[in-house]
Structure 1
Amino acid sequence: MSIKLGPAGVPLSCKGRTIVEGMDDIISLGLETMEVQTVRMVAPQHFEQYWQAGVLANKTDFEMNIHGPYYSELLGGKVERGRSLAKIEATLQAARTVNARHITLHTGHYGDFGRGHAANQQVANVFSGIVDRVHEIWHDDEDEFPVFPWIKNGTPSKIGVETSGRQELWGSLEEVLEVVNHVEGTVPVLNIAHIHARGHGQMRTSEDYGELFDVVRESIGTKEFYCHFSGVEHRTGNAMHYTQIKKSDLNFEPLAEFIVEDGGWLDITLISDSPLLEHDAMYMMQNIEKSRHKQLERKAREDRRRALALQTGKSEEELRSKETQIAQARKTAAKPAPPAEKAPAEPAKEESPPAESEKPSKTKASKAKKESKKAEEKEEDDVFDFDEEDDDLF
């Protein structure tokens, strides 16, 4: 099993804003991948830093990926489609320069095609042309091999077809799998937040993730998965916007549990799309580690139970039942006893007034001294001293 985690873009905590500086920060956090964002257009002056990032990725075995323009109209008319492909061309050039393993692309609105086979066929034709173009760019000029050593011995970037998060956009899981199944060189990009939103909040348990990955594996026969994850706010089957993971009804714990318990066959890259970027990437990594610890603890308990069963002659089921009873008893014992109800205050009366011989409090003693002095000076009756003390008590 291979798991790589990283942010979608330069980390928020990075003092510099170049890709190389971002890579340094990501590596120092213990993360192993990132997705460069070319969501609108790639400016020519950025290619120098892309090349530097590609060299560093090649030397350190760091996985680089790249995201194409957010707004695409690959199902639009000739003009709209041509405009989108021009932007994608810049992303393909950048992917070669940065040594990207995956290029994630959006398809856009259904347009005049609507849902169905015709739209899927058109998308397949467009992506087939994009795959051909990537291969052309990758092996364009052999004279550049010394500058791009990863090109000579490597394979072209894989074109990622991303699942969409809105009903009016092409990109349901079924549509993506149909296209990927027919176009060699493409892979599905499972945006879990989009799948969750489009399915009205369907990703809730580890079993849900098991079904998702099984469907993909059975459909296209792969064990390699490229996924995006973040929290998401959604309504009526549409993603509204990304949120940090802890503020969403899309929890990461079930996915972590699936990866650790049943995902031994996976080769998975997880990109954090969260507004917190690297912070939520770290949060995902910590949750995977927690699931691993739970798995180890459970296996250790099972080993102890098995050994004890051999020693005592009892069955493992009996021992497990006894452990459950003991754990339940501990929980009950650990519960704090409910606070005792305060008895209603008794009327001030029932207590007999303190005898004159009893010691008054410090304050009262002080006042009593003063009153005593006054009494000596004025040589008056002690009954007034009692009245003063009475006032103090109430």
Structure 2
Amino acid sequence: MEKLLFGTAGIPVGTKPRNTLEGIKQVKKLGLGCMELEFVRSINISDKKAPEVRKLAKQENVLLSAHAPYFINLNAVDPEKRKASIGRILNSARILNLCGGWSVCFHAGFYMGMPHDKVYQSVRESLEAITEALKTEGIKLWVRPEIGGKPTSWGSLEEIIKISQELEGVQPCIDWAHLHARSLGKNNSYSEFAAVLETIEKGLGKEALKNMHCHAEGIEFGPKGERSHSNLGSSLNYQDLMKALKDFSVKGVLISESPNIEGDALLMKKVYDSL
């Protein structure tokens, strides 16, 4: 990608009427460059509606990504639950593809007290099935497991880099606030942000830094990790994060996932552009 785009997780709060098409127009009006389609509760765009979304996003030059449903566990013991999880990611990718999008992210699952290497294999097998199915269907977009916000969630930085090394079409989704919460307060300074970017570059090459799908927000967390998202200024050191992203010439998308989605997307863009 040519630059780092800033955008919202879903339809901006101030959008009226609140629908996807108006959301894309509002993103453009605000001076932002991307929007994440939030399929977290359900995949709420139909096959029939998707071409309209695609046409408008292209017209407004707004890059689309998607967040697949929360109800996913690629480590589910029950084969039917795992199959359903794979289906939710595939269906999200199919609709995103019809909308002209480029990257689908998701929370891959939970350790559930199992050995981490065994869980890794379960997730890997599921992701391989997903990437093979998309390849068979001729769908070309990035499949991105996201950093988990709790230590009990599968998706450490190391795991996500490793699986991206092993599977074609898979790359990380880096939620900077989740990294902060998962580590119970670390990963919140310039040197730590830089170290994460260096780790990604070392593991996946410089190209990975030119093709990043990131989230940022404030975050409330406790001894067990993430509790809830909050507005940007509450916890995440976004000023240092913007400097690190600029210094490493990161390109791709940075999606605001705070309650004040467009306000914080604009705040990050303002800080970034001032550097």
**TM-score of the alignment, normalized to the shorter chain, above 0.5:** yes
> Normalization by structure 1: what TM-score?
0.65
Q: Tell me what 1:97 maps to.
A: 98
- Residue in structure 2 matched with residue 288 of structure 1 by the alignment: 272
C-alpha distance in 2, partners of 1:170/1:202?
18
Q: Does 1:50 align with 2:50?
A: yes
What is the identity, as a one-letter code, of the residue corresponding to 1:106? H
Partner Cα distance (2:11, 2:138) in 1: 25
Deviations 1:118-146 (A, max 9, x none): 2212211111111122223336xxxxxxx
Find the partner of 1:191 among 172, 175, 183. 175
Kept after mapping to 1: 8 A contact 2:36/2:65: yes
Which letter maps to 1:249?
A: S
Q: From the superposition, tell whether residues 58 and 138 of structure 1 become closer, same or farther in structure 2 (CA, over 3 Å).
A: farther
What secondary structure does 1:233 align onto? Answer: strand
- Aligned-residue sequence identity (percent) comes to 24
| Residues in 2 aligned to 1:71 and 1:42: alpha-carbon distance in whole angstroms | 12
TM-score (norm 2): 0.92
Other structure's SS at 1:64 match: strand
What SS does the corresponding residue of 1:138 show, helix, strand or coil?
coil
Q: Unpaired segments of 5 or more residues in structure 1?
A: 140-155, 293-394
| Contact 2:216/2:257 (<8 A) preserved | yes
Deviation of 1:52 (Å) = 0.9
Tell whether 2:219 aligns with 1:232.
yes
Shift of 1:60: 4.1
Alignment match of 1:244 (pick from 231, 235, 246): 231
Q: Residue 74 of structure 2 contacts residue 85 of structure 2 at CA under 8 Å; is this kept in 1?
A: yes
Instruction: Flag the structure with larger Rg.
Output: 1
- Amino acid in the other structure paired with 1:185: G
Q: CA deviation at 1:233?
A: 0.4
Q: Give the CA deviation at 1:237.
A: 4.8
Map residues 1-394 of structure 1 onto 2, 5 A cutoff.
2-43=3-44, 46-77=46-77, 78-111=79-112, 114-138=114-138, 156-221=140-205, 222-223=208-209, 224-246=211-233, 248-260=234-246, 262-264=247-249, 266-290=250-274, 292=275
- Give the structure with the higher percent helix: 1
Q: Deviations over 1:265-297 (max 9, x none)?
A: x2131000101111110111111123x2xxxxx
Structure 1 vs Structure 2 CA RMSD: 1.7
* Counterpart-to-counterpart distance in 1, 2:159 and 2:25: 37
1:324 corresponds to: none
Q: Supply the distance in 2 between the matched residues of 1:67 and 1:194 (Cα, whole angstroms).
A: 15
**Cα contact 1:232–1:239 (8 A) shared by 2:** yes
CA distance in 2 between counterparts of 1:13 and 1:50 reads 23
How many residue pairs align between the two structures? 270
Q: Specify which structure has the bigger relative contact order, considering alpha-carbon pairs within 8 angstroms and separated by 6 or more residues.
A: 2
Q: Which amino acid aligns with 1:254?
A: D
